[in-house]
Chains A and B, each alone.
Chain A
Amino acid sequence: MTAVEEVPLSAAGNPIGFGSMRRVEDARFVRGQGNYVDDVNLPGMLHSAILRSPHAHARIVSIDASAAEALPGVVAVITGKILEGIPRPSLLGDNFAWMPTLSYDTQAVLATDKVRFQGQEVAYVIAESRYIAKDALELIDVEYEILEPVMDAKRALDAGAPIIRDDKGQTDNSITDVHGNKTWESGNAESTAAAIAAAKADPNCVVVTQEIMYPRVHPAPMETCGSVSYLDKVTGQLTMYTTTQAPHAHRTVYAMVAGLPEQKIRIISPDIGGGFGNKVPVYPGYVLSVIGTIVTGKPVKWMEDRNENLVSTGFARDYHMTASIAATKEGKILAVDVDVLADHGAFNGVAQPTNYPAGFFNIFSGSYDYPDAHCKVTPVYTNKAPGGVAYACSFRITEAAYVIERVVDCLAQELQMDPADLRLKNLLRPEQFPYMSPTGWEYDSGEYEKTMRVAMDIAGYDELRREQAEKRAKGEYMGIGISFFTEGVGAGPRRDMDILGLGMADGIELRVHPTGKAQLRLSVQSQGQGHETTFAQIVAHELGIPPEDIEVLHGDTDNTPFGLGTYGSRSTPVSGAAASVVARKVRDRARIVAAAALECAPDDLDWELGRWYVKGDRERGKTIAEIALLSHSSLELPEGVEGHLDATAVYNPPNLTYPYGCYICVVDVDPGTGQVKIRRFIAVDDCGTRINPMIVEGQVHGGLADGVGMALMELIAFDTDGNNLGGSFMDYLLPTAVECPDWELGETVTPSPHHPIGAKGVGESATVGSPAAVVNAVIDALSPFGVRHADMPLTPANVWRAIQGNAIRVDMAVE
C-alpha cells in the first residue's frame, strides 16, 4: 500500500501528501475570528428561550402564558397546544407537537399531555433579546399533576411500573424497535450457552460473571447547541445556521418533518465548537426556531444554556451489562456472553443504522480468538432525557470495548494471571485477517501482538510490575491497566447501513481551476478534526497539487454534495476514500488531456507526483497545472471526453475499517482517601495510513482525556424523585490539565486493505479504548484489598467504598 517515502514539500513548506503540517483553519481561530452559531447575527433577529419541566413525570393540567406574552419585548409564546393545532403536511402525519427520532420513535417538540423527563421542553418564548426571553420564562404559569417517575432502569419493566409512553398506547416501558423486536441479539446463543455451561462443569475451566455498568455520561462539547433560522417569505428559502454534524441529513429531516421544499432549505453548519455526537440529533430547539421564524417572519436564534445541554440533549451510554467469560485455567478464552439492559430515556432517540438497534455493540467479542459469543440487548424507557449514542462511541463500541476489556481483567484476576500475558495468549494473529468475528464483523487488518509489544515497551511493563511488587510490600498501591481494543468505523456499506432510510455513502466534488488550483467540496464537515487541512492533503497526495492550493469547502448544504455527516469516525474511511477516488478520476482525465496535448496515447504516459510524462522520455510531460489550463482551453479532445478538470464521486464503502490499539495506564491510589492519580498513560494506535500525524495524535490526546473523565469523574445520575444530578459543570465534572498526564503515544501502521489510501478512522479510538485502561489500573491497584470490580466513575468515595467491600451504585443518587 503506501510505503513510508520521502514526501516532497511545497513552496510553503507543506508536505505534498501525507505528513504533519500546520492547520489551515487555525489562522482564523487564533485571531478569535471563528464563526460559531452564536456569532451569527442577522438583521432584525429575535432571540428565544425554552421553558422546561422541573418534573420527571407529570401531567400538564394547564399552561397560562398571558403574563409572559404581556412582558414588553416578548413577541410570541408557543405551547404544545398551539403546535398540536398545526397539522403537518408531510408523509409522517400527526402535528407539529411531535417529531420523529432517528430510531423511528416519536419525541415531543413541546409537551402536550405529559412531561416525561426533567428538562423536557414545555413552552417557547420569542423575544427581542436573550435577557427578556429568559425573563419571560418565569412568567409562564404551568400547573402540573406530579406522577411517579421511573428512574431505576432495573425496575422499568416491573409489573405495575408507571407507564411512560401512554401516548403510544404502551402497556409497559419496553421499547420495540423498527423491526418489531423488544430485544436485539447477536452471535450464537446456543453454542455460547453450551460452551459456558461446559466450562462451568469442567474442573479445568473457569467462568467469571461480572455486572459491569457503563453509566450515563454526556459529550458536553464546549459550545452548546443552537440555531439561527430564517424563512424569507418572499423567496420561500429557509436558511438555518445550526450546530449540526450532519447538515444534509438534517435538511432532509426538516423537509420531511415540516413539509418544506427541500431545495428551498439551506443548512449551514459554520464553525462548530466540538460535536462528539452531541450535535447529530435534531433537537426540539432547532425545530422551534424554525417554527419561530415561520410565525414571526424574522430570523430567530435559539442557543441553549449549559444546563439545557446537559439535561435534555443526547446523553451517552447508560448500559447495565452482565458479562460472562469462559476460559481454560491456562487462560485460553472459550466464550463470552453479555446481557444488556439499555436505558434509553423517555423517547427512543438513539442514532445508529437502522439494522443495528444496539449500534455496533456486538463487536464486544473484541480482539481475541475464540469461537463463541452472544449478546442480548433489552432497551427500556425511563423518565430521563432521550439519547444513548453519543460521545465518540462509534455506535456503542465504547460500551463493547469496555465490557470485554473489563471482564478479561476479571478473568486474569480469577486465574491469577498477568493481564498482559492473558491478552497475548488470546490476541488474533496476523494470518487470521481478514477475520470474521463470532458476531459477524469482518476485521480488515491487524498485527495485534506487534502493537501490544510496542505499548509494553514504551511503558516499561516488566519494570512497572517490579515496582508494583515493591510498593505493595511497603503498603503503597499503584496499578497498571491494559486495554486492547478493536473498533469498526466508517459507516457504512449501503447494502446494510442506513439512518432513517438514508444510505451512508458520501458524495464529493473536486474542481481543478484553469490555473491549477483546486476546490474540494465535502459532505462531511469538521468540528475540530482539521478537515480543511487533511482533505487537501489527500488530494495533494493523489494529484501533486500543493495543499495550500486546495481549498476545502464543507458545512453548507447549498454548495456541498450529499452525505450523512461527521460522526462515528467515518470521515476518513468514507469521505477520505471519496476524496482519493475523485482525485484519481481527475488524474485519469488529466492523463487523457495530457495525451491529447502531447499527441500520444494515454497508455504511453506514466505518472509521478504532479505530472504525466512520456514513458522513456521523462522530459516530455505535462504538470497538473498545465493540464488544468489545457483542459479549459480549445485543445481538441478525443470523442466522448468532456473538457474541464472536474469530477464527482459517491463512495459506498465495501466494509468498515478496523482501527485498533493498546493502551496502558499507570495509577497511584491513596487508600486512605480513595484518591486516584494518573501517573502515566501510554497509547499505541494503529489507524492504518496516517494522513497528518500531528492531527492524528491530537485526536488521540483528546480521546484519552475523555477516558480519564469517564473513569474518574463524569456522571449523570438521578435521584428517586427524578432530579438530574449532573445538570451543570459544577456537578458534571470534566477533566482538566491537572488530571490529565503527559500522554505517551506510539504507533504501528497496518493499512486497511480495502481503503484507497489504506487509512482507517481514528477520531474515536482513544475514547473507545481509554476508560478500560484507567479502570483496570485502579482495580489492579486495589486487588490486594480483594476488589474485583467497581463501576465508573471511580471518584474518591467510590474507590474507598470499593475497598470496604461496599461499592456504590453509580446511576442512582448516593445514599
Chain B
Amino acid sequence: MQTPAPVDYARATSVADAIALLEKHGEEARLLAGGHSLLPMMKLRLARPEILIDLNDLDELRGIRIEGDEIVVGAMVTHAEILDSPVLAEHYAIFREAEKVIADPIVRNKGTIGGSMCQADPSEDLSAVGSALKGSVVIQGSGGKRTLALREFHEGPYETKVGDAEILTEVRFPIRPGAGSAYEKVERRVGDWPVASVGVFVVVAGGVVTDCGIGLTAVGAEHFCAPDAEAYLIGKAPTEENLAAAAQLAADACTPYADQRGPVDYKLHLACELTLRALRKAAASSQGA
C-alpha cells in the first residue's frame, strides 16, 4: 500500500486554536477532518503538507440544528449523520437521497460535509445538493466570520474561496415550507463518483412553480447550478413539457468532458434526463403526491 510523505501532526483544541495553527504554518498546513479525501491524496503523494491540523476533537463544529429559517450543519458533521438526520429529512428528501449514493457506509462514518465542500471535487455530490438548495457557508478566520453563498464558493476544480488561515465552520440551508426535493445519480457501480448527478428542489404553489433550485455535479456546470433553467420554470406550471424544457436548459449549462465514465454526448444527455426525473419527483412531492 502506498504511504504518505513525512508530515507533522497537531490536534486543534478549539476553532481559534486551529486558526492560530494555520496562521503559524501558512500554506504548508492542511486541516484534517474525515481524512478520506486528503489522506488518499497524501498516500499517492499528490498532496504533501508539512503539518496536519486535526479538527476531530472540536465538538463546536458538530451538530445539526435549526436557527430561525435556516438549517445549520456543522462542518464536521459526517455523511452518515446527514443520512440519518431526522431534522434534514423532515425538510428536504434530497439529503437522504444524495447521501445514500455517496461513497459507502464505512467511508460515510468519517467523511464530513466541511471536508467534502472544501475538497471541491468537480464531481462532489454535496456540492450539487448545496448549490441546488442555494445554501451558504460560514468561514472563520482570525478577523472573524464571514458568510458566502455556495454558488460563489468555488473558484475552480479543487479550489474554493476559503483562505489559507481560515476554516469553514458551518453550512446553512434555507428552510422552504412546501418544498419538494430529489436527487438523481448515475454511477457505474455503487460508491463510484457520479457519471452525472442532479439535485433539485421545487416549490409548487397555486399550480405553478414559485421557487426552484437545480444543482448538477460532474458535468461542468458553473457553480454546480443551472440558473437559466431555474428562471425558466418560475411562474410556470410543472407540466411534463415545461419540466423537459427546463431540463434541456440545465443540460445547456453543462460542459462535461469525456473520461472513462462516459463520452460528452452521454453526459449531456444524462444532465437533461436526470434533471427531468428529479424535477418530476420534486414537483410531485411539493404537491403532496
Contact = CB atoms under 8 A, between A and B. Distances in A.
List the 8 shortest-distance A-B pairs measured between CB atoms, nearest first: A797-B262, A738-B190, A733-B189, A797-B266, A131-B3, A673-B186, A672-B273, A795-B188
A138 interface: yes
A717 B259 CA distance: 11
A797 B45 CA distance: 31
Nearest to B5: A135
Interface string B252-285: 0000001111110110011001100100000000
A739 B195 CA distance: 17
Question: Looking at chain B, what size class is its interface with the partner chain?
Answer: 20 to 34
Contact of B263 (A306, A307, A673, A808): A808
B26 interface: no
B47 to A, nearest CB: 14
Interface string A661-691: 0000000000011110000000000000000
B86 interface: no
B1 A675 contact: no
A307 B2 contact: yes
A525 to B, nearest CB: 25
Given A715-B260, A717-B260, A801-B266, 9 more contacts: A130-B3, A135-B5, A713-B189, A739-B190, A795-B188, A795-B262, A804-B265, A815-B258, A815-B263
Contacts of A715: 260
Contacts of B266: 674, 796-797, 800-801
Contacts of A713: 188-189
Contacts of B2: 134, 305, 307
Interface in A792-809: 795-797, 800-801, 804, 808
Nearest to A129: B3
B270 A673 contact: yes
A497 interface: no
A715 B261 CA distance: 12
Interface of B: 1-3, 5-6, 45, 186, 188-193, 195, 258-263, 265-266, 269-270, 273-274, 277
Interface centre among B189, B193, B259 (most CB of A within 10 A): B189
Interface of A: 130-131, 134-135, 138, 305-307, 672-675, 712-713, 715, 717, 725, 730-731, 733, 735-736, 738-739, 795-797, 800-801, 804, 808, 813-815
B260 A801 contact: no
Contacts of A739: 189-190
Q: Is the interface of A mostly helix, strand, loop or mixed?
A: loop
Contact of A736 (B190, B195, B273): B190
Nearest to A808: B263
B262 to A, nearest CB: 3
Interface centre among A134, A731, A739 (most CB of B within 10 A): A134
A813 B45 CA distance: 25
30 contacts: A135-B5, A138-B45, A306-B1, A307-B2, A673-B186, A673-B273, A674-B186, A675-B186, A712-B189, A713-B189, A725-B260, A730-B193, A736-B189, A736-B190, A738-B190, A795-B188, A796-B188, A796-B195, A796-B266, A797-B195, A797-B261, A797-B262, A797-B263, A797-B266, A800-B269, A801-B263, A804-B265, A814-B262, A814-B263, A815-B263
B1 A305 contact: yes
Nearest to B267: A797
Given A131-B3, A673-B270, A800-B266, A733 B192 contact: yes
A109 to B, nearest CB: 23
Contacts of A800: 262, 266, 269
Nearest to A673: B186
Contacts of A814: 258-263
Nearest to B45: A138
Q: Is the interface of B mostly helix, strand, loop or mixed?
A: loop
A138 B44 CA distance: 12
A800 B5 CA distance: 43
A305 B43 CA distance: 11
B175 to A, nearest CB: 32
A12 B192 CA distance: 46
A339 B1 CA distance: 40
A504 B192 CA distance: 43
Nearest to A133: B3
Interface centre among A138, A672, A712, A715 (most CB of B within 10 A): A672
Contacts of B189: 712-713, 733, 735-736, 739
Contacts of A730: 192-193
B288 to A, nearest CB: 26
A545 to B, nearest CB: 44
Contact of A796 (B45, B186, B190, B265): B186
A14 B127 CA distance: 57
Contacts of B186: 673-675, 796
A182 B222 CA distance: 54
A305 B270 CA distance: 35
Contacts of B6: 135
A164 B151 CA distance: 51
Contacts of A795: 188, 261-262
B266 to A, nearest CB: 5
A76 to B, nearest CB: 20
A152 to B, nearest CB: 17
A673 B262 CA distance: 11
A460 to B, nearest CB: 28
B262 A736 contact: no
Contacts of B193: 730
A378 B259 CA distance: 30
A735 B188 CA distance: 10
A377 B192 CA distance: 36
B76 to A, nearest CB: 25
A815 B261 CA distance: 11
Contact of B260 (A138, A672, A813): A813
B281 to A, nearest CB: 14
A800 B192 CA distance: 18
A401 B193 CA distance: 33
Contacts of B258: 814-815
Contact of A733 (B5, B188, B263, B269): B188
Nearest to A130: B3
Contacts of B263: 797, 801, 808, 814-815
A813 B263 CA distance: 10
A130 B4 CA distance: 11
B195 to A, nearest CB: 6
Interface centre among B261, B265, B266 (most CB of A within 10 A): B266
Nearest to B189: A733
Contacts of B191: 736
A380 B270 CA distance: 38
A713 B188 CA distance: 7
Contacts of A131: 3
Interface centre among B259, B262, B270 (most CB of A within 10 A): B262
A474 to B, nearest CB: 17
Contacts of B5: 135, 138
A730 B187 CA distance: 12
